[in-house]
Amino acid sequence: MYMPTTFWTWSFLLVSLVQAAIALALESYIFAKFQTSLNSSAINSTAAKTTPTYLSVFMFGYIYQLILVWDALRLKNTIQVIGLTLYNIGILVYASIQKDQIHDAIVTLLRSGFIDDLTLWDELNPFLIALPCLMALGTLILAGITWKLYDEFAWTIYKHISADLRLKRRYLTYQIYIALLKFDFFFFLGFTVQFLVVVGDTSDAEFFITIAAVPVTIILLLLAGYWTRKESILGMITIIIIYFAALAYFLFKLVRMYQHNARARDYLPARKSLTTFAVITILLLIVTIITACICTHNFNKGLKPHIGKRRKVPDHNGPTNYKNEVPLAGPVPSRMTID
């Protein structure tokens, strides 16, 4: 099992753990308080399903973030560390939207007589304010640590790739692409789960296609990483076409949520949250498509030996391990700069 070996890697991990622990505790309290305040007649209410689903996706987001933190530190992936700071900003936006969405749900349920506790909003409001404040503080701290880790991990990249600037740019593009795949998974899954649980009156065909999309997405993302490492042009062309299909799907859903027709009411209970996930996913897909095209263009240019088999490099304060070492691509130039 990987263990951090430097002050800044430990700091990044500990800040992420503390942030997740506090946020999960707050979210768990909100979840439990909301559920226990509902009466038995609320079981079929859409508003009663929206908030638990919203909170569940939010809590999964923190757990998934911890997995990505461990993965980024294990691989010494500078791009993924930067991406995690941006991911934190995304959760901050999500936490800010959460306050209004839960307020709307509580008001709707109170009017319908599905909640007996008239003071529920007053009890939950301080916790809902604390969450975005926590995320804002966590983001600032993680951004500072990320700056330090950038310098620290840059030496690892140099040892792995050498000072060949063109090869280093190709490796950087590869790192960006792999990191994007990991973030794509969360936002696609978050949108899909909310759509399945909250949106009613969905046709059987659309419902089952949406369910099937989850395992298919996992398989496709794994294949996307595999085809990139193996430098399969046919595989990358296939996956890029699928990216365009996914982009069309999310654009279709985004437009459909705001059309003035009977279907618009089905999206209304979770429209803010679904819009947030759809917009972020669309932006990620656009960047993913561009990065995938650049990665494909970089095939057969000397990068494959470096990404096909990880090269062990010495830590700052650890012994050198040359097991499975991949030879550097040519002699190391005298230029030692990383950027």
pLDDT in tens, 239-256: 999 999 999 989 988 888
Residue 321 has pLDDT above 60, yes or no: no
Q: What integer pLDDT is reported at residue 327 of this predicted model?
A: 40
Mean pLDDT over each residue of the chain, to the nearest integer: 82
Most confident of 48-52, 204-208, 313-317, 335-339: 48-52
pLDDT-derived band of residue 329, with 50, 70 and 90 as boundaries?
A: very low
Q: Is 115 helix (H, G, I), strand (E, B) or coil?
A: strand
Q: Can you say whether the dihedral through the CA atoms of 239, 57, 282, 12 is positive or negative?
A: negative
Q: What integer pLDDT is reported at residue 199 of this predicted model?
A: 64
User: What does the alpha-carbon distance between residue 156 and residue 133 come to, in Å, rounded to a whole number?
Assistant: 34
- Let me know the angle formed at the C-alpha of 95 by 175 and 83, rounded to the nearest 5 degrees: 10
Q: What integer pLDDT is reported at residue 207 of this predicted model?
A: 67
pLDDT-derived band of residue 48, with 50, 70 and 90 as boundaries?
A: confident
**Residues 327 and 160 sit within 8 Å (Cβ to Cβ):** no
Higher pLDDT, 87 or 335: 87
Length of the chain: 339
Over residues 270-287, mean pLDDT = 88
Range from 88-102, 152-166, 210-224 carrying the lowest mean pLDDT? 152-166
Side chain identity at residue 49, one-letter code: K
Give percent of the chain with pLDDT exceeding 90. 40
Q: What integer pLDDT is reported at residue 319 of this predicted model?
A: 43
Q: What integer pLDDT is reported at residue 247 of this predicted model?
A: 93
pLDDT in tens, 25-39: 999 999 999 888 888
The domain locations on the chain are: 8-161, 180-314
Backbone angles phi, psi at 180, to 5 degrees: -60, -40
Residue 314 has pLDDT above 60, yes or no: no
Q: What integer pLDDT is reported at residue 305 of this predicted model?
A: 79
Q: Is 198 helix (H, G, I), strand (E, B) or coil?
A: helix
The answer for 315, left when phi > 0, alpha when psi is -120 to 50, beta otherwise, is beta
127 is written with which tokens? Answer: 């916790």
Residues 6+ apart with CB under 8 A from 112: 42, 45, 47
pLDDT in tens, 89-141: 988 988 888 888 888 888 888 888 888 788 889 999 999 999 999 999 999 99
User: What does the alpha-carbon distance between residue 41 and residue 46 come to, in Å, rounded to a whole number?
Assistant: 12
Residue 215 has pLDDT above 50, yes or no: yes
